Structure 1
Amino acid sequence: MASFPFRRETLATSSSTSVAGDVARQGTRLGLGTKLAYGFGSVAFGVKDGGFNYFLLLFYGTVVGLEPGLVGLAILIALVLDAISDPLVGYWSDNLHSRWGRRHPFMYASAIPVAATYYLLWNPPEGLSQGELFVFLLGLAVLIRTFITFYETPSSALLPELTADYEERTSLQTFRIMFGWVGGNAMTVLMFGALLVPTAQYSHGILNRDGYASYGIIASALIFTAIVVSALATHRHIPNLRQPPAKQQFSLRRLFGEMFETLRESSFLALFWATVMGSVATGLSAALAFVMLSYFWGFSSEQQFIWTALVFFSALIAFAIAPAIGKRFGKKKAVIVLGIVAFTVAPAPVILRLMGLMPENGDPILFPLVAAINTLDLSLIIALQAILYSMIADLVESSELRTGRRSEGVFYAAVTFTRKCTVGLGSFTGGLILTAISFPQGADPSTVRADTLWWLGAAYAPSLWVLWLAMLFCISRYRITKEEHEANLERLASRQ
């Protein structure tokens, strides 16, 4: 692979594939081009995640006509299958021997399958029965989630290989989180600004089936572009990345034994359950976001367009504050502080509405008030995510000390799995809420009964609070500090 040109980052040396190289790269500051290229790849997951989070339940449950509970069930079943496929892909990418390194073959191979299946998801055949629609959705959900794992897990696993520096990992993860949010939100803005618009056939923009079909074409093209561009742009770093362990004879017993040994790390278990709880809360919020905006708050399509556009400001604010807060407080304390503030504020407008303390729908002050609260609160949540996911990278060296193996792929497979919980358990819970309160399908927002909307808010806000509090409790069990991380690098170097 020496024939591929690449630019060495500051302090990179010929020993960068060794433990000593990790210590040397403690002070590495990656170039802006590397951060932009690496971060841009997250657009693929962001677009897929945005579609699943915000529009899938709305599209299949309201527009196509599949029972919302069945939509949630299909995604939940796919999630269960992910629990098997994700760690296998992660383990495979940790141990792959190829002239293109451990990660890039997976990234290249995923581009076309992800894009093709995502297009089909938003263009289902007409005239299918409930059972046929369920099978169609379930099959595509399984395929898309498997194919995105083949990209997202190896791509994410590059982070701890690109830099060993505690704070630089937070910076690099911030780029990745920002691009994920911006990419997904760009498609959401496009949906409400140009695709989901009222027509003579559709009285409300969210019911416009043709808009979802157009979204499938545009989104799948963007996913393909993000994967290919990021893979090509980071290809030149392959000579600097860690090499796979020596080949061994395949054994299922050894494979699962090594995975379970790796994932027994106590700090990993704390992060795993924290990200599961946080992802389910995010998924529930996302799955019901536009149901809440359209029905609970009564916002128009134009107001929803502005609402989604404001997410860009949230991402930029988070991009600016996440590295600084992580450096100031340390990663664990930063996540807890951000979480306490953000998770107290987020459901507050809904609770105040249930208590009769918010302006009525249609009041000129309502939209700017709720939108301002959401924009600032979302910036804290995005910053929290950036710091939280960077904590995964610091597990790699701790695990290597204990097991003698580099297992970036296995750890990040767990992260990919928990992020999919966003649309698995989150969408499932959202579907159950809509079914439990007998929320009408395809109804005009002005025709939904007031008591139905009250029960929607009463089920929504407390569910979020319970999940977020559970997340912060799990975070409190994480143990790796900056000092411990640097000591781990030194101990690994002394072993070498």
Structure 2
Amino acid sequence: MDEKQEHANAKLPVLEKISYSFTDMAGNLLYVTISSYILYFYTDVFSISVAGAGLILLVARVVDAISAPVWGSIVDHTHTKWGQSRPYFLWLAIPFAIATFFAFTAPNMHGNAKLIYAGFTYILAAGIIYTGIQTPITAILPNMTADPTERISANTYRMVGGAVGGFVTSTFCLPLVALFGRGNDKHGFMWTTAIFGVVAIILLFTAFRNVRERTIAVTKPLPFKDSLKATVGNVPWYLLVVSFAIYWIAQSTRNGISVYYAKYNLGNEQLTSVFNGLQIIGILATISVPFVVRITNKTVAMLIGLAIGAFGQAMMAFVGNNFALVITAWIIGIMGASLAIAMPFAMLADTVDYGEWKTGIRASGFLTAVGSAFCIQLGSGFGSFIPSKIMAAAGFVANKTQTASALASIKFCFVWLPIIIYAIVGFIMIFYLRYEKMEPKIKADLAQRHAEEMNERV
């Protein structure tokens, strides 16, 4: 093994892994605020109908999803002294914070002007700019190291950072809105997102400073058509894209409907902070990922997470309004979801290797952009649209006493819809097992191929 190959397989410093975790911490600090509260902000603060808000989110997410492969191709074409993916942590940090602030600003508008403003600012913050952040966060992983064990370790740090970011916004967003708004939620959301934005900028700047890309030497600028060729025959990538997009319908539904379930079914809106704040417990599942993968494999670990998550969701259906039991069931669901959601991000790095092995083209930006940002955007869009349509059909009206059918629709979306989705995702992922078994051979073949190419250049 030559010096460059050893460098590519080097163990990552702990400081670098911690700094890598800051990328998802910053992303979730702002994006979880959007995904968890934007539907509520539109209906209960900005006074947009639930059907109109749901349509905005769906149309915006579909448009945003299209930007994912574009961003992937942009990353694949990026070659600077700082690396391929890393510069975007610097370039997009401030625009991301500003766009999120405007998404939660409610100017005095009416009719179509209000819908256009909401749609534009949402697409900009949760779509175009967030996709530009999310793409390099995932695309940089296969460039940090070629060692699969180190990739799992770095991804675990990342997921823990994401959980911390999600915990902060989920726990403190509504209390901060109440504190700064003093009865005016419009002002409260503006101040809260401004503070979160400043923190996110600091985190992304720190990640830019400390994270490095080591395998970038084997990556060449790719025309968009060549990026597309990297998907040809890449069956494990197809499986991940489909399953992860569907999975994010459940993830978005659980987060977005929790505020409605707490406010209308349990009668206390502030319990949303308890529900979402408990997401931090998912760190326990996240840090167990390397151990679980070591004794099973990545696919089985994801299936175990889906099963645990489904059990927790089902338990909530049978405990009524007993808050202690609802919280217990919710925690079980969090543990399962945290284990399941961590795996596709690590698996995407492996599908980049598979694509190179199969086609000779290494399109880390494009493949990870579609496999992460595209899936998150598309799945989250449907995760907001589907519940909004179900609730609207059942007669939901914001800030009113809900009918029995409206309450039942909220409970269905919060409890049963994620279970249905988990089952579908689990069925799809069973087919991934055969490709995971091929990874040692793929890694060995690529190492030999890279060595031969290096020798030819010498």
Is TM-score (shorter-chain normalized) higher than 0.5? yes
Kept in 1, the 8 Å contact 2:164–2:280? The answer is yes
Structure of greater Rg? 1
Question: Does residue 372 of structure 2 align to residue 395 of structure 1?
Answer: no
Q: Cα distance, 1:218 vs. partner?
A: 1.2
Report the Cα distance in structure 1 between the residues aligned to 2:82 and 2:181, rounded to whole angstroms: 50
Residue 246 to residue 276, structure 1, CA distance change in 2 (3 Å): closer
Q: Does 1:440 align with 2:397?
A: yes
Higher mean displacement: 458-467 or 177-186: 458-467
- Gaps in structure 2 of 5+ consecutive residues: 453-458
Q: List per-residue Cα deviations over 1:381-439 (Å, max 9, x = no partner).
A: 11221123211111121111112122111121011111223431111112212211121
Q: Following the alignment from structure 1 to structure 2, what is the Cα–Cα distance between the partners of residues 92 and 468?
A: 33
Q: Assess, with a 3 A threshold, how the Cα gap between structure 1 residues 31 and 245 changes in structure 2: closer, same or farther.
A: closer
1:318 aligns with 2:285: yes
Partner of 1:370: 326
AA in 1 matched with 2:385? F
Aligned partners of 1:275, 1:43: CA distance in 2, in Å? 20
Equivalence for 1:491: 445
Q: What is the root-mean-square deviation in Å for CA atoms of aligned residues?
A: 2.4
> 1:47: which partner in 2?
29
Q: What is the CA-CA distance between 1:482 and the residue it aligns to?
A: 5.7
Give the Cα–Cα distance (whole angstroms) in 2 for the partners of residues 178 and 200 of structure 1: 33
- 2:455 is aligned to none
Q: CA deviation at 1:38?
A: 0.4
Letter in 2 for 1:384: A
Amino acid in the other structure paired with 1:379: M
Instruction: Tell me how far apart the structure 2 counterparts of residues 247 and 394 of structure 1 sit (CA, whole Å).
Output: 20
Distance (whole Å) between structure 1 residues aligned to residue 409 and residue 355 of structure 2: 46
Aligned equivalent of 1:452: 406
Kindly indicate whether the alpha-carbon contact (under 8 Å) linking 1:174 and 1:387 is maintained by their aligned counterparts in 2.
no
Quick check: 1:424 aligned with 2:381? yes
Alpha-carbon contact 1:182-1:312 (below 8 Å) kept: yes
SS of 1:433's equivalent?
helix
Task: Give me the whole-angstrom Cα distance separating, in 2, the residues matched to 1:155 and 1:232.
Answer: 14
Task: Tell me, yes or no, if the aligned pair for 1:185 and 1:309 is still in contact at 8 Å.
Answer: yes
Contact 1:322/1:383 (<8 A) preserved: yes
Q: Distance in 2 between matches of 1:380 and 1:82?
A: 28
- Counterpart pick for 2:110 among 108, 129, 132: 129
Aligned AA (1:216): T
Say if 1:232 and 1:198 are closer, same or farther in 2 by CA, change over 3 A.
closer
Q: Could you tell me how far 1:105 is from its partner in structure 2?
A: 2.6
**Partners of 1:233 and 1:54 in 2: CA distance:** 30
Q: How far apart, CA to CA, are the structure 1 residues paired with 2:302 and 2:54? A: 29
* Aligned residue pairs, count: 448
Cα distance in structure 2, aligned partners of 1:175 and 1:227: 15
Give the SS at the match of 1:476: helix
Is the 2:307–2:336 contact (alpha carbons within 8 Å) kept by the matching residues of 1? Answer: no
Match of 2:201 in 1: 224
CA shift at 1:200, angstroms?
7.8
Within 1, Cα distance between the matches of 2:206 and 2:81?
Answer: 19
Report if the CA contact (8 A) 1:318-1:379 is conserved.
yes
Partners of 2:14 and 2:7 in 1: how far apart?
21
Of 338, 341, 356, the match for 1:385: 341
1:15 aligns with 2:4: yes
After TM superposition, the score normalised by the length of structure 1 is 0.84
TM-aligned CA deviation for residue 222 of structure 1: 2.1
- C-alpha separation between the residues in 2 aligned to 1:247 and 1:476? 34
Is it true that 1:64 corresponds to 2:64 in the alignment?
A: no
Aligned partner (choices 412, 427, 430) of residue 368 of structure 2:
412
| 2:228 equivalent to 1:272 | no
2:218 and 2:299 map into 1 onto residues whose CA distance is 30
CA gap 1:113/1:192 in 2 versus in 1, 3 angstroms = closer
Corresponding residue for residue 282 of structure 1: 251
1:65 is paired with a residue whose SS is coil
| Counterpart check, 1:196 vs 2:178 | yes
TM-score, scaled to structure 2: 0.91
Deviation at 1:49, TM superposition (A): 2.4
Cα distance, 1:29–1:97 mapped onto 2, change above 3 Å: closer
Q: Distance in 2 between matches of 1:430 and 1:256?
A: 37
* Bigger mean CA offset, 214-223 vs 34-43: 214-223
Q: Could you list the runs of 5+ residues in structure 1 that have no partner in the other structure?
A: 1-10, 203-207, 249-253, 353-357
2:169 aligned residue: 187
Hey, what does 1:143 align to over in structure 2? 124
How many Å apart are 1:198 and its aligned residue? 11
Aligned AA (1:101)? G
Distance 1:397 1:257, change over 3 A: closer
